[in-house]
Amino acid sequence: PLRSAAVGPLLSGSSGRSRRDAAAHPVPPRSPQALCSQPGRPKDYALPNASWSRDMLDLYDRFLAMTKEGLWKRIPSYNNVLDHIPGKALRGLPSRDTRLFLRSIEAEGVGFEYVMFLNSSEKRVVCLFQPGSYLEGHPGFAHGGSIATIIDSTIGSCAIFVAGRVMTANLSINYMSPVPLGSVVLVDSKVDKVEGRKVFLSCKVQSVDGGTLHAEATALFIQLDATKSQKQQASCQ
Amino acid sequence: PLRSAAVGPLLSGSSGRSRRDAAAHPVPPRSPQALCSQPGRPKDYALPNASWSRDMLDLYDRFLAMTKEGLWKRIPSYNNVLDHIPGKALRGLPSRDTRLFLRSIEAEGVGFEYVMFLNSSEKRVVCLFQPGSYLEGHPGFAHGGSIATIIDSTIGSCAIFVAGRVMTANLSINYMSPVPLGSVVLVDSKVDKVEGRKVFLSCKVQSVDGGTLHAEATALFIQLDATKSQKQQASCQ
């Protein structure tokens, strides 16, 4: 069940809902290039550390094995947003004491422990997520905002793959079952449809054994620069 | 425009959308009692500190003045979830190194700086929110997940007021305009409708001058224990 939960097809999410799409919210600008592992980068946080549970490590090993078969790629993750932008030094962006929200908690294990894997042929990104004790909402469980955050980030990475620079226009989440702190869940996102600059995606948050559907979500992202993103994708593959 | 943005009626949010309501996600259990300021509590973070900007302080002063007129109440905020539960010591809950997600970043000014005010007659909670530099998504702007988090928390506080213990069942956010790090926004939430155990709410995220609508959201919360919550409300008022 673990393998099927992680690699099986994503059940179709809810749809047919009216959406606002004139306006949008930018997501961290991980270009398709940043979705490919590259040497010489700053510290990559999407790697095992001492806080990872046996479930997290087992899933990680399983996905890592799949990367060797060529269908999946691990997505690196840095604590500074600018480090996700290729050629940032050339852009003359000033150095600032900022942090990518999901990497803002310094200590290992208490914040967002996660790693994402991209399956480009399936237009799908799966995130292995272990919420730490500083993400608490209801006692013992991850805050709904932290679940929204990991969903937005995972779906956003998936949208970036197909459309380059994107902005979140709508995010709708159904919460089914709370996620215990310290447990491991699979955040499984995929592109459902692309219409011009609109990218429609859906996502499920499931327990490792596939037995619990914690949440499901739909999202609309708007593509910012069509020409550029296609070039970036080409250079990444 | 500042006062009207803060105190004026909330424009009706989008509605008529189909929702899942069988399942739900618990929100931090701030009971109606915890919504009232009480002496002898642990450190209250919903108070001005050196990181608060002039805009944030001005708005805070304005709302604080309104609390003296009796219509509004400031909602205290602690970094430990259990401190939001009245009588926690009596419940035998073990002490744990956990944090309320929104108070997980230690340093002043880089995480979620916020304070909420409750207007019980309007069934409305307004949150003054100054996102810090560790909440970054797109360079220079707050992460969509951080916006979802402050919305969930503000709407949740509003739902708690009318229904006691509640769980988030659905949260749908339309992102219109990104929120610059260090700016101040008003998160203005209200109860639209109560049907049995279902509480429907909506929310707007606006700039201080009211000129920019950054996001709007609708949410469905499920009441967990009707009888108890009504008693709690009564004891709070």
Spatial separation of the C-alpha atoms in residues B59 and B186, rounded to whole Å: 9
Spatial separation of the C-alpha atoms in residues A121 and B136, rounded to whole Å: 30
Q: List CB contacts (< 8 A) between A141 and chain B.
A: 26
- pLDDT score of B230: 47
Name the H helices within chain B.
2-7, 54-68, 144-163, 226-236
pTM: 0.81
Q: How far is B165 from chain A (nearest CA, A)?
A: 10
Q: Which of B237, B157, B227, B236 is nearest to B199 (CA)?
A: B157
Q: How many CB atoms within 10 Å of residue B68? A: 8
CA of B140: how far to CAs of B15, B21, B54, in Å? 32, 36, 19
**Structure tokens that stand for A4 in this block:** 């099927």
- pLDDT score of A92: 57
Host H or E run for residue B175: strand B166-175
pLDDT digits (tens, 9 = 90+) for A56-96: 999 999 999 999 999 999 999 988 888 877 665 545 555 67
Q: Is the Cβ–Cβ distance between A38 and A83 less than 8 Å?
A: no
**A58 lies within 8 A of chain B by CB:** no
Spatial separation of the C-alpha atoms in residues B219 and B169, rounded to whole Å: 8
**Structure tokens that stand for B199 in this block:** 């509480």
Q: Which of A228, A77, A118 is nearest to A164 (CA)?
A: A228
State whether A24 and B150 contact (CB < 8 Å): no
Q: How many CB atoms within 10 Å of residue B14? A: 16
State whether B105 and A100 contact (CB < 8 Å): no
Helical axes A226-236 vs A144-163, angle rounded to 10°:
90
Q: Three-state SS string across chain A, please? A: CHHHHHHCCCCCCCCCCCCCCCCCEECCCCCHHHHCCCCCCCCCCCCCCCCCCHHHHHHHHHHHHHHHCCCEEEECCCCCHHHHCCCHHHHCCCCCCCCEHHHCCCCCCCCEEEEEEEECCCCEEEEEEEECHHHECCCCEECHHHHHHHHHHHHHHHHHHHHCCEEEEEEEEEECCCCECCCCEEEEEEEEEEECCEEEEEEEEEECCCCCEEEEEEEEEEECCHHHHHHHHHHHC
Per-residue pLDDT of chain B (237 residues; tens, 9 = 90+): 333 333 333 323 333 333 333 345 555 555 444 454 455 568 999 999 999 999 999 999 999 999 999 999 999 998 888 887 766 554 555 567 899 999 999 899 999 999 999 999 999 999 999 999 999 999 999 999 999 999 999 999 999 999 999 999 999 999 999 999 999 999 999 999 999 999 999 999 999 999 999 999 999 999 987 654 444 443 333
Residues in chain B: 237
Q: How many CB atoms within 10 Å of residue A154? A: 26
Q: Which of B93, B152, B175 sits opposite A169 (nearest CB)?
A: B175
Q: List CB contacts (< 8 A) between B19 and chain A.
A: 174
The residue type found at B201 is: L
Closest residue on chain A to B150 (Cα): A145
Q: B206: helix, coil or strand?
A: strand
HSE, side-chain direction, 13 A CA sphere, residue A18: 4
Phi, psi (5° rounding) for residue B36? -100, 135
ipTM topping 0.85: no
Weakest-pLDDT range from A144-148, A197-201, B88-92, B153-157: B88-92
Spatial separation of the C-alpha atoms in residues A128 and A66, rounded to whole Å: 14
Maximum alpha-carbon separation in chain B: 49
**Structure tokens that stand for B164 in this block:** 């006691």
State whether B18 and A23 contact (CB < 8 Å): no
Residue A35 pLDDT > 60, yes or no? no
- pLDDT score of B225: 77
**Structure tokens that stand for B168 in this block:** 């988030």
Host H or E run for residue B167: strand B166-175
Q: Which of B212, B211, B160 is nearest to B189 (CA)?
A: B160
Spatial separation of the C-alpha atoms in residues B77 and B100, rounded to whole Å: 9
**A14 lies within 8 A of chain B by CB:** yes
Q: List CB contacts (< 8 A) between B139 and chain A.
A: 29, 81-82, 85, 93, 98
Q: Per-residue confidence at A12, pLDDT binned at 50, 70, 90?
A: very low
Q: Is the Cβ–Cβ distance between A189 and A205 less than 8 Å?
A: no
Q: B207: helix, coil or strand?
A: strand
Spatial separation of the C-alpha atoms in residues A132 and A105, rounded to whole Å: 10
Residue A150 pLDDT > 90, yes or no? yes
**Structure tokens that stand for A30 in this block:** 């991980």
Q: Which of A143, A153, A215 sits opposite B101 (nearest CB)?
A: A143
